[in-house]
Structure 1
Amino acid sequence: MKVTLQLLASAVGGILFMGVLLFLPAGTFDYWQAWVFIAVFIVGTMVPTVYLAVKYPDALQRRLTSGPWAETRWAQKLIYVGLYLTVVAAGVLSALDRRFGWSTVPTAVVVLGNVLVLAGLLLAEGVVIQNKYAAATITVEREQPLVSTGLYGIVRHPMYVGALIMMAGMPLALASYWGLLTIIPGFFVFAARITDEEKALRQELDGYDEYMEKVHYRLVPGVW
């Protein structure tokens, strides 16, 4: 019952947050791209979340505990705020773009943006299914196993790959090219989060140093 109420509150809160974030700066509700984006975002988050609630409730509970207040490392508290502000900036800039007509984005590109948003969300949720200890905060639990296969055999932080794909698709889904500028600070914020996270993992998760020698890249194979 508690989890059900948390999911309902999360869905309602997400819709309200996205509504204010997009329609207020756009100055209108006549913004079909925003309506579609919100629908895609809610479906892309809630369907996997319900699946986790049924199959892996412990993993879901780890995902529901989030926010800067839930982080134990001060660096991560600040970085989490940076991630939040980056997403807000992407939404507001895209909505302002809609309001003032800075970009002319074809419908096909909007569709592509929504595909990227959905793919990024599903990838991130797929990581949780593979690694039940993939929490929303930087934490290592007692007897937590090191996952080094599947997506983790390609890059060390596949969940963040999904988040970046979603962030890249968001401005396009909202019919904005200018919103793509937020990807740049977003990447650096994720880089800071990953760098600090790996310090904790090397100290607290057995075998992580050896894993880093096996899987060399954090986000993009052959690049970083």
Structure 2
Amino acid sequence: MIPRLIVNTLGWVVIMGALLFGAAGTMQWPAGWAFLVEMTLLSLASGIWLAQHDPALLAERMTIFLQRGQKRWDQIFMMLAAVVWIAWLVLMGIDARRFRWSEVSPWLQGIGGALMAASIFFVCMVFRENSFASPVVKIQSERGHKVIDTGPYAYVRHPMYSCAIFYLVGMALMLGSWWGLAFVPLIVAGLGYRAVREEGVLAEQLAGYAAYRSRVRYRLVPYVW
């Protein structure tokens, strides 16, 4: 499983690097290289940790984003999300390096890198509590899918999406793109849409989720939404 993790991680790094540096029009982009290095290290470290603590979840996380049993609306969402992700990376490469529309100070870029690392740490906390954290919306009956209400799930119903907010903000800051940061709320709005649709599936098909939803009021941000 570890060799597969390494291959998958390096594959994503190559694709993201091609998009970022292709849009930048140059390989001389220190922030771009720093981002790719940090992303590689964080992905491998979290993956190796997961392989030791919950190999079944790691196997689930490494599956493709279009699967049998996945809701049709989620398949469409994931395809649109891939398009948005590609466009976002290209925008940041154009903004931060090719035309240099944005000027982000090095200390803010450092904060961005710290936010990325912190978000991955909290994602691992989510994985520790929830062995059913699939990348797609589906009920995992074959794995004994059940409601999780401990750890981060005691505070928000979608803690992985909460972590994603910090990761997205950190990524835009680290790459030095104010335009990239400006588009983060739109991406978060997409996550919010998916969270609402996902909850409908869980409340209908997963025993105990409706009661859990009534106990834990907030989806992504405590006391906000």
Q: Above 0.5 in TM-score?
A: yes
Matches within 5 A, 1:66-215: 66-69=64-67, 72-97=70-95, 98-142=97-141, 143-215=144-216
C-alpha separation between the residues in 2 aligned to 1:70 and 1:186? Answer: 26
1:86 shift after superposition:
2.9
* Partner SS state of residue 217, structure 2: coil
Does the alignment pair 1:58 with 2:56?
A: yes
* Partner SS state of residue 68, structure 1: coil
TM superposition outliers: structure 1 runs of 4+ over 6 Å: none
1:145 shift after superposition:
2.3
1:16 shift after superposition:
0.7
C-alpha separation between the residues in 1 aligned to 2:208 and 2:16? Answer: 40
The one-letter code of the counterpart of 1:133 is F
C-alpha separation between the residues in 2 aligned to 1:91 and 1:116? Answer: 18
What CA deviation, in whole Å up to 9, does each residue of 1:86-135 have, x standing for no partner? 32232211110121010111100110111111222222232112111111
1:184 shift after superposition:
2.3
What CA deviation, in whole Å up to 9, does each residue of 1:64-87 have, x standing for no partner? 113134661111012112322332
The one-letter code of the counterpart of 1:100 is F
C-alpha separation between the residues in 2 aligned to 1:163 and 1:68? Answer: 20
The one-letter code of the counterpart of 2:220 is L
Change (3 A) 1:172 1:95: same
1:215 shift after superposition:
0.4
Would you say how many aligned residue pairs link Structure 1 and Structure 2?
222
* Partner SS state of residue 40, structure 1: helix
Of residues 46, 49, 56, the one that matches 1:48 is 46
The one-letter code of the counterpart of 1:215 is V
Q: Are the counterparts in 2 of residues 68 and 78 from structure 1 also a CA contact under 8 Å?
A: no
Q: TM-score, normalised by structure 2?
A: 0.93
Q: Percent identity?
A: 31
Change (3 A) 1:93 1:70: farther
Does the alignment pair 1:218 with 2:216?
A: no
C-alpha separation between the residues in 1 aligned to 2:92 and 2:215? Answer: 40
Q: Are the counterparts in 2 of residues 89 and 182 from structure 1 also a CA contact under 8 Å?
A: no
User: Please, which runs of 5 or more residues in structure 2 have no aligned partner?
Assistant: none
Q: Are the counterparts in 1 of residues 71 and 138 from structure 2 also a CA contact under 8 Å?
A: no
User: Please, which runs of 5 or more residues in structure 1 have no aligned partner?
Assistant: none
Q: What residue in structure 1 maps to residue 6 of structure 2?
A: 8
What CA deviation, in whole Å up to 9, does each residue of 1:130-183 have, x standing for no partner? 111111111222332211121001100001111121111111110111111221
C-alpha separation between the residues in 2 aligned to 1:80 and 1:184? Answer: 18
1:30 shift after superposition:
0.6
Change (3 A) 1:120 1:82: farther
